[in-house]
Structure 1
C-alpha cells in the first residue's frame, strides 16, 4: 500500500506496507481477528492479543481467521509477558506457534524479550518491544529488538512507574536511540502523528482513540461511555503494587484508590477481588462500566463518536495532511551553523 504522503514513508510503513505509520497496539480481550484485519485493510498495523486466547488452538485459529480477513495485508500478534517468569508460563510455546503460523511481526511487552530473540529472528519475525519510558527502550535496543514503542504517562493501561510524558519521551528517544522508535500515550489525531515524525519517530501507537471503532467486539454501552468521557475521566491506581494502571474512572477505581490510601502496603492479594480481569471483561459484554479496571488513556478527549475503523483512520489521515499543509508554506531556514552547548 502506498503511503498517503511521502512524509509517511518511514521505517515502520516501509517494513509493513502501511498507508499511515500507525500501530494499533494490542487490546486485551478486544483485539480479535475482525478488528486487527480491519486495521490491516485500512493501512495501519494491528496486533491480535495472544493472552485473549488461553488455549493455543484458539490462538492458532484466530491467526488463520485474521489472515483470511486481512486480504493479504500484514498483521501481528501481541505477547504480553509477566515481569518475572512464573511456573507454567507458556511464552516459548506461544512464540513457536506464532512462528509456525507465519506471522511477520510480534509486539512484546512486560519483560525483556532477549531469551526468545534468536527463535524469532530465525523465523524472520520483526520484534517491536513496548516500554513505558526511554531508559527501557535503550535496554531493548541493546539486546537486539528491531523496533521499540514508547508509551508515555498519558496512555491507557500500564504507563510504568516513571510516569514520563509522551512529549518528553519523544525528545529523549530521538537523542538516545538508533533503532526505529514509535511514540504512544495520548495520541489520537493526525497532527500528533506529524509531530512524532518531526521528532524522529518512525510512527505512533494508538489505542484509546480506536476503542470506539465499530469492529471492536464490545457492547454499545461501553463505547458510548467512552464517547461521553473526556481527558479528565481517567485515573491512576495500583502504584502500591508497582503495577500502575490508567483506567476509566468508576466505582472500582474509587474503591482501589481508597484501599491504597488507607494501607500503602496492601498487596495484590487484597486488591485482586476488585481488579481481576474477569470483572473488567464483563463491562465489554454488558456495557456496564461502573465496575472493573477498564484501560483508557487521556485520548478519551479525542473519542467524539463511534465509527468504522476505516473512517477513524481516514480522519487521522485528513488531520495529518492538514498539519503538513500548515508547515509546508514556509520552509525552515537552514543557514545557522553554530552549536549551543546545553
Structure 2
C-alpha cells in the first residue's frame, strides 16, 4: 500500500528543523523491531525513527541495515538508536558501534541507557546530531551539560524503561521548561495529536511515541501480537524488575506475573535469578510467533489509543488531523 498524500506543514519547531521532518514526532527505537521497513516508513510519513543497533548481533549486520534503510527512505530522514545499558556479558562493543555509525554517514543518533559523554567526541566529529532519551528530568539536565543537541524525557506512562523516579509526563513537561535550555521532547503515554499540541504549549519541541506505533503495517511482527495490542487497554500493563533497579513497563502476561511474584518473595533475587524469565530472546520469539503469554513485551499506557493495524503514513495523518482539531479548539488553526 502506498503512503497517503501528506498534509500541509503546520509545525515549525527545533525538531522539524533539526531532522527535516514535517511533524515534530519521534518514533522511538524499539528493541528487535526498529528495522529498515519500519524506520523508513516513519521517515516517508513525515516523522523520524531510529534503527536499534542492539537488535543486531554483528556490526556488519547493522551496517547492512543502515544501507538498506537509506535506500528505502528515498531521501527521508532516519537515525540509529544506540543503547548504552551495561551489558550482562563481557565483550561490550559500544565504542565500536558508535564509530561504525559515525563512519556510515548517519546524521542522527538517539542515545539512551546512560550518559553519552564518553562517546560525544566521536559523534560531534562526524557532525551527528544527538538526541538523548532519559527517564527523568534530572538526567536530561546532565545530558544537556555534556553537549547533546536535544533530549527526550519519557514519563512513568511509557513502555519499556520508565526509570526509578516514576514521574509522569505532565509533570516532566511542566518542569522541563524551567530547567532546560536545549530543545526537549516529551514521551510516555502519547498517542494523539492533541497531546502534541499540549506539549508544544508547555514548551516542548515535539513528542516521542513508541507503543502507538507497534501496530504499524510496516513493523515486522506477527499479526497475533498486533491483535493482542488492539484488544489490550491502557490498564493492561505491568511494572516489574524494580528489585534490580531496572524497572520495565510491559504488556501484562504470565511472565510479568511470575517475575513480580519472585521479586516480592525474594527482593534480593538479583538479575541472575530473573534472567531466565526476562531474557530478550524470549520477547523476540513472541514478536515472531505472536504468542504474547511469555516474555517482557514493552508497552505503555498508549495502548488505549490503539484501534487497528494501519500503515505508518495513516497513523501519522490521523495524528495530524487530531492535532489540527486541538488547535481549532484553541482558536489557533490556520
TM category, shorter: over 0.9
CA shift for structure 1 position 242: 0.3
Q: Gapped runs of 5+ residues in structure 2?
A: none
Q: Which runs of 4+ in 1 moved over 6 A?
A: none
Of 203, 207, 221, the match for 2:206:
203
CA shift for structure 1 position 15: 1.1
In structure 2, what is the equivalent of residue 145 of structure 1? 148
Q: Deviations over 1:176-227 (max 9, x none)?
A: 0000000000000000011111111110000000000001100000000000
Of 315, 320, 327, the match for 1:317:
320
CA shift for structure 1 position 82: 1.7
Question: In the aligned structure 2, how far is the partner of 1:39 from the partner of 1:306?
Answer: 15
Alignment of 1:130-169 (within 5 A): 130-169=133-172
Contact 2:31 2:52 in 1 (8 A): yes
CA spacing shift, 1:126–1:329, aligned 2, 3 Å: closer
Match status 1:289 vs 2:292 = yes
Q: Gapped runs of 5+ residues in structure 1?
A: 331-342
In structure 1, what is the equivalent of residue 98 of structure 2? 95
Name the TM-score, length of structure 2 as normaliser: 0.96
Contact 1:3 1:9 in 2 (8 A): no
Match status 1:28 vs 2:34 = no
CA shift for structure 1 position 4: 4.0
> RMSD over aligned Cα, in angstroms?
1.6
Question: In the aligned structure 1, how far is the partner of 2:192 from the partner of 2:326?
Answer: 10
In structure 1, what is the equivalent of residue 12 of structure 2? 9
Q: Which structure has more RCO (C-alpha within 8 Å, separation ≥ 6)?
A: 2
Q: How many residues align?
A: 329
CA spacing shift, 1:58–1:84, aligned 2, 3 Å: closer
**Larger-Rg structure:** 1
Name the TM-score, length of structure 1 as normaliser: 0.94
